[in-house]
Amino acid sequence: MKIGIIGAGYIGRSLATLGMRQGHDVMVSNSRGPATLGSTMSAIGCKAGTAEQAAAFGDIVVLAVPFGKIGDMSPGPFAGKVLIDTCNYYPARDGRIDALDRHETTTSQIVAAHFPAARVVKAFNAILAKDIETAGKAAGTPNRRALPIAGDDTDSKSVVAAWLHECGYDPLDTGALADSWRFERAKPAYCIPLDRETLKTKLAMAERDIELPHGSWRR
């Protein structure tokens, strides 16, 4: 499988590392251009390209940039792609977004609106970057960590769920992009290690207008 990764921060590099370990073909991009990714290429063994090149390259494309930067990206190269949205809304970093503050939409619905020809799946946003490479376990391991996904296209969710499983996690389909608020920042399932049944419980506990204390999910 070819995986294009937009963003070379902690999340992007962790997913690139996993992809390479699994034998996939990975291309990473950042906002400064491929010439600045030499150390990443050496450490991980991946290819480097522009965001447009990584989007065109991938069978699946991972969006791993600050949420506030989404609007700066051209949607054209993402047409027809399975686009994994790992982004989270942090107002102090991204600026206030009234529609999110009023709970009128979700982060992934905003991503889908900006990339209308992509098939957006929300995934890998509810796990700390430092856990991505280390918390995965073989299928059948007791208390294997589960991660939520959401999307409006069943086939795309199946593709992403298969990769999550390969990465060592039990994928849990939570429904449509409109339902993805249940595992956004500061909800009970956000970045907390949970097995499948406990994840279901935490998702059900989420309330749209109530947030956990900032940073309570960090360990």
Q: Where are the beta strands (DSSP E) in the chain?
A: 2-6, 25-29, 47-48, 60-63, 82-85, 119-122, 146-151, 170-173
For 22-136, where are the alpha helices, taking DSSP H only? Answer: 38-44, 51-57, 91-94, 98-101, 107-114, 129-132
| pTM across the whole model | 0.96
160-179 residue pLDDT tens: 999 999 999 999 999 999 99
The owner of tokens 């990443």 is 40
Q: Which residue segments constitute the domains of the chain, with CATH numbers given?
A: 2-180 (3.40.50.720)
Residues of the chain with pLDDT under 70: 219
Mean pLDDT rounded to a whole number for the chain: 96
